[in-house]
Amino acid sequence: MRQTTPSPARPFELRYTVPAQDIDEQGRANNVAYVRWMNVVAIAHSAAVGFPWERFLEMGEMFVVRRHEIDYRLPAFLGDELLLRTWPTMMRAATAHRHHEIRRASDGALIASGMNVWAYVNITTGKPVRMPPAILDAFDPAKYA
């Protein structure tokens, strides 16, 4: 199991209620839903700091995920209200790391933690490009410490 990065002082947070579509035959949230939740909160965070999808299209550049890591701690069930939390931890050249926590809102219990490795690429070619200063500033990990 990977070492969990400590929670920052100011993560981006989104409330989410587990819907029926996330529940598997065991009666709990399917592991694939956790990956989607990480993506949902990453997209919301990006929009909140001034980078909705439309802005990436205008720039001709975007982030694509290269790797997911998830440590599952507790199950999530239908109707559970979750706190999806995320924060950038590294931004360098064309690579970014984003950490995640999924907590149960009622008691703060850690449901899962994870990390994504993202590549910043040209939309047309798919080739990595250096992140521009506006991206580096918007997602500066120091803002979350």
Q: What percent of the chain has pLDDT over 90?
A: 91
For residue 1, pLDDT beyond 50: no
pTM for this model (two decimals): 0.91
Helices (H) and strands (E) in the chain, counts: 3, 5
Q: Per residue in 74-88, pLDDT tens? A: 999 999 999 999 999
**Quick one: pLDDT at residue 3?**
47
What is the arithmetic mean of pLDDT over 105-127?
Answer: 97
**Quick one: pLDDT at residue 5?**
60
For residue 98, pLDDT beyond 70: yes
**Domains of the chain, earliest start first:** 13-143 (3.10.129.10)
For residue 6, pLDDT beyond 90: no
The answer to whether the Cα torsion of 123, 67, 6, 83 is positive or negative is: positive
According to DSSP, residue 77 is labeled -
What is the arithmetic mean of pLDDT over 139-145?
Answer: 91
